[in-house]
Amino acid sequence: MARLELLQHIAAPVNEVAAFFVPQRMPYWYGVEIQARFELSDGDADFRAGQKVRITGLVGQREVSLTAVVTRYEFGCLLEWRFQDAAGVRGLQSWELVPVLIPAGPSAGDAASADAAAAHTRVVMRDEYEMPGRVGHLLDRVFTRFAVARRDRDALGRLARLAERR
């Protein structure tokens, strides 16, 4: 099983970053390379634990999809789901939003600058997955693990640009 953990610092408060962890906005940063679409099993507008999410998109001319089940969700704090795709790849992805205060200016020790501290967010993304079969394990060690890490870094970079309004 492959396990990846990536950190992304975002110069925006948690509530502004959290606005991109809803089904309507996640495709702006997650799954962009396949033009992802999110469908919730019950038609809700927000995620909730126990909910099934179908994510579909295109790779070339071929439609690909995976089904995820939300295992934990706390708005503004955490989104976690287990997934499996049609090829048998299965795993877990999670995103944790951690508030961070960045002191303003060189005199960070005084009381006035504490009020001027900027609210930032650290996103911790965990991606665990397993490819089926011996060939899948070999391909993962040689190719897939690096491609998944790059895809995840790119997605977190897009999230940062959107949340920071760059």
Q: Say whether pLDDT at 18 is over 90.
A: yes
**By percentage, how much of the chain surpasses pLDDT 70?**
90
pLDDT tens track for 126-137: 999 888 888 777
Which residue, among 108, 105, 102, has the nearest Cα to 120 in the 3D structure?
A: 102
Q: Say whether pLDDT at 49 is over 80.
A: yes
pTM (predicted TM-score): 0.85
Give every CB contact of residue 73 below 8 A, 6+ residues apart in sequence: 47, 48, 49, 79, 80
Q: Say whether pLDDT at 142 is over 80.
A: no
pLDDT for the residue 141: 75
Which residue, among 69, 44, 32, has the nearest Cα to 54 in the 3D structure?
A: 69
Tokens 């790059």 sit on residue? 150
The CATH number of residue 49's host domain is 3.30.530.20
The DSSP string of the chain is: -EEEEEEEEESS-HHHHHTTSSTTTGGGTSSGGGT-EEEETT--SS--TT-EEEEEEEETTEEEEEEEEEEEEETTTEEEEEEEETTS-EEEEEEEEEEEEE--SS-TTSHHHHHTPEEEEEEEEEEEEE-SHHHHHHHIIIIIHHHHHHHHHHHHHHHHHHHTT-
Mean pLDDT of the chain: 88
Look up the domain containing 110 and give its range.
2-163
pLDDT for the residue 60: 84
Per-residue pLDDT band for 42 (boundaries 50, 70, 90) equals confident
pLDDT tens track for 72-100: 999 999 999 999 988 888 999 999 999 99
Q: How many domains does the chain have?
A: 1
- Decide if 158 contacts 150 (C-beta within 8 A): no
Per-residue pLDDT band for 105 (boundaries 50, 70, 90) equals low
As a dihedral over the C-alpha atoms of residue 155, residue 158, residue 164, residue 166, rounded to 10 degrees, the angle is: 170
pLDDT for the residue 148: 87
